Amino acid sequence: MKPTFANDAAIEQAVDLLRQGRLVAFPTETVYGLGADASNPEAVRRIFLAKGRPADHPLIVHIPSLASLDAWALTIPESAQQLAAQFWPGPLALILKKRADVPLEVTGGQDTVGLRIPNHPVALRLLQVFGGGVAAPSANRFCRISPTQAVHVQEELGDDVDMILDGGACQVGVESTIIDLSGSQPKLLRPGHITRDQVEAILQTKLLVTPEIEQADFMHVRAPGMMAIHYAPITPALLCSPASLLTIIVDLFKQGKKIGLLTCNTELGNESHLGAIIRMPMQANAYAQVLYSSLRELDNLHLDIILVEQPPQTETWRAINDRLAKATSIYSNVIV
Ligand code: TXA
Ligand code: MG
């Protein structure tokens, strides 16, 4: 399916498709989503088929405005109101107790629902004209890298989607921060552009984070974004500390490996050892914006291995480190 430039006529067509229970990929400020009418179980099932995603993994419902929150959430705690007032529209998803009429297909059988108002003009327009909730996971195949451009969706899903709205490259580049407000203590389920500190400052309380979450809940994994292997390129990828990087490059080079490198280091020599090198921005938000497209670019070069230099391990880099750990988790444990 070729992307369609997202003008008013295209958005009208997308809304018609959603009303018919079809799938529409659309841009958000984080990544592209694979959308279906969240009130139509049959349409929602199509998302799982297209992605190859297990049916018990819940989806985020995208809503047009705060006024539609109580069509989905059973109760809206004060904490949700405060976060929504501060960060919506924006890259934050809230997990709340669901209303009885929210299809279990959307929530993976759970009694909670993920909700967010995305901050992208195309997504907002689509939601406003549609007038309901759009369930949308990232528009990639299960466990693969999320798409941040319309053409990535085309590469990922081919004709398994009925329309791809092209709204340019996503500004944020990594998936939304997920805060679970359905229990007695707020939890950070997935780090993102909106940081833990920002959320804690609004709520005036500490968030539970992994591994405390598992300890507190005996929680089985319910957010696929929390699984160890996720967001992964097909090429083996390895996360290396800056100190070990050169040794690893030389070692792999001696073994005759074709190496791709993702690094912030501007002084690194030895480029003759490398099949490809992508120099990443040294500022976290700028790094996040191009992270997935850079991994995708290296993945398309048919290299033997992708080396990723570990960025700083500070709070501002938490979402990036989380995604990098997952993109490289299959191999990092083995080699380093
Ligand atoms: O930035 C984003 O959130 C993007 C764009 C398209 O909005 N969407 C996205 O969707 O990343 P997806 O399905 O790839 O990730 C949604 C995450 C999953 O990890 C899912 O398990 C979690 O949200 N989630 C959704 N509903 C949940 C619930 N009721 N309880 C716990 N986790 C939930
Ligand atoms: Mg995803």
Q: What is the pLDDT of residue 269?
A: 64
106-159 pLDDT, tens digit per residue, is 999 999 999 999 999 999 999 999 999 999 999 999 999 999 999 999 999 999
| 223 touches ligand 1 (CB under 6 Å) | yes
Residue type, 61: V
CA 114 to ligand 1 centroid distance, Å? 7
Question: Which chain residues have CB less than 5 Å from ligand 2, an ion?
Answer: 138
Q: What is the pLDDT of residue 273?
A: 78
Whether the CB-CB separation of 293 and 149 falls below 8 Å is answered with: yes
Annotate 264-309 with DSSP letters as a single string.
--SS---GGG-SEEEEPPSSHHHHHHHHHHHHHHHHTTT-SEEEEE
Q: What is the pLDDT of residue 159?
A: 97
- Kindly report the length of the chain: 336
Q: Please compute Rg for the chain using Cα positions.
A: 20
| 230 touches ligand 1 (CB under 6 Å) | no
CA 146 to ligand 2 centroid distance, Å? 6
Considering only CA atoms, which residue is closest to atom 29 of ligand 1? 113
Kindly identify the ligand whose nearest atom is closest to the C-alpha of 116. 1
Q: What is the pLDDT of residue 184?
A: 95
Ligand 1 nearest-atom number relative to CA 176: 1
Q: What is the pLDDT of residue 220?
A: 47
Kindly identify the ligand whose nearest atom is closest to the C-alpha of 136. 1
| 31 touches ligand 1 (CB under 6 Å) | yes
Whether the CB-CB separation of 63 and 133 falls below 8 Å is answered with: yes
| 27 touches ligand 1 (CB under 6 Å) | no
| 137 touches ligand 1 (CB under 6 Å) | yes
Q: Render each residue's pLDDT in the chain as its tens digit; 336 residues.
A: 999 999 999 999 999 999 999 999 999 999 999 999 999 999 999 999 999 999 999 999 999 999 999 999 999 999 999 999 999 999 999 999 999 999 999 999 999 999 999 999 999 999 999 999 999 999 999 999 999 999 999 999 999 999 999 999 999 999 999 999 999 999 999 999 999 999 999 999 999 997 766 554 444 445 555 555 678 899 999 999 999 998 999 999 999 999 999 999 877 765 677 889 999 999 999 999 999 999 999 999 999 999 999 999 999 999 999 999 999 987 654 444
- 282 Cβ contact partners less than 8 Å away, ≥ 6 residues apart: 264
Considering only CA atoms, which residue is closest to atom 21 of ligand 1? 223
Cα distance from N-terminal residue to C-terminal residue, the chain: 40
| 35 touches ligand 1 (CB under 6 Å) | no
Q: What is the pLDDT of residue 336?
A: 44
Kindly identify the ligand whose nearest atom is closest to the C-alpha of 114. 1
41-77 pLDDT, tens digit per residue, is 999 999 999 999 999 999 999 999 999 999 999 999 9
Mutate to test the pocket of ligand 1, among 60, 143, 219 (most ligand atoms within 8 A of CB): 60
pTM (2 d.p.): 0.94
